[in-house]
Amino acid sequence: MTGRRHFNGLKTAGLFGLMWAVVLGIGALVDGGSFLWVFAGMGVLGTAYGYWNSDKIAIRAMHARPVSEIEQPAMYRIVRELSTTARQPMPRLYVSPTQAPNAFATGRNPRNAAVCCTEGILDLLDERELRGVLGHELMHVYNRDILTSSVAAAFAGIITAFAQFLMFFGGGRERGGNPLAMIAMALLAPMAAMVIQLAISRTREFDADEDGARLTGDPHALASALAKLERGTQRAPLPANRDLVDVSHLMIANPFRGAGMAKLFATHPPMAERIRRLEAMGGSQGGTVRY
């Protein structure tokens, strides 16, 4: 599994490289690149705000509330055990009052992390499966995936801003730029940014599956949980409002009902592929993988 994890890291770096190439390419078309640093600065500020407040934004979107150990003893027991195993601080625990089964972790670092489960996932999974899910979520925090997703979102925002500027103000035309090329770039660049951002999100999900299974020592439990979540999210999807769409990439399963083109632009890799990898991981390790 070390080779696959190394490959995923290189893939993430390569995808960020593509984003930089798109930024620099379209930035050069906007008035000869004069506004490149303006848009880049806006993106950095947006990234900092989203990263620093990621826990508050996601928890507010899910209307989640903090829970005590008396209310959710299983959640506390599992998270405390896994945090201790990983030698990391205990995160804050929340429950969202929705029957849509899902879970997410957020926070800028392990000391400021929060883990949230919906009422639906707590009803759907047994304790072994819940342990697999919580291991996955904790690894998103330990792997600094919140920072990765924040930076990817900022890049996408910069590219979209460049494209809009190019479309509405025709940057570079006075320098003899090709109008058709500028229109094509204005239309295609945001789509390219979105596809790259989704690819980064999907890559991080595979890593969180693998690392979470190592943390719990039970890849089959997470595979079983994902199979239940695939069915559960189709029966009880979240409403696709703006706030929930913005935080959907944090969740362990795609919270929206999707088919056709919607699956192509999903923030999560296909559930069948995730389950296949986990089952292969469990089989290759005799069913037990140590963190």
Residues carrying an active site annotation: 137
Q: By the 8 A CB rule, do 132 and 224 touch?
A: yes
Q: Quick one: DSSP state of residue 259? A: -
d(C-alpha 77, C-alpha 66), whole Å: 16
Alpha carbon 201 to chain centroid, angstroms: 5
Q: What are phi and psi of 95, to 5 degrees?
A: -130, 135
Nearest CA to 28 out of 14, 17, 39, 44 is that of 39
Residue type, 52: W
For the chain, give percent helix, strand, coil, nearest 5: 70, 5, 25
Enter the tokens of residue 128.
């072994």
At CA 120, angle to CA 115 and CA 123, rounded to 5?
Answer: 100
Backbone dihedral angles phi then psi of residue 108, each to the nearest 5 degrees: -75, -20
Helices 271-284, 219-235: axis angle to 10 degrees equals: 160
Note whether 290 and 217 are within 8 A (CB): yes
Find tokens 């292969």 and name the residue: 280
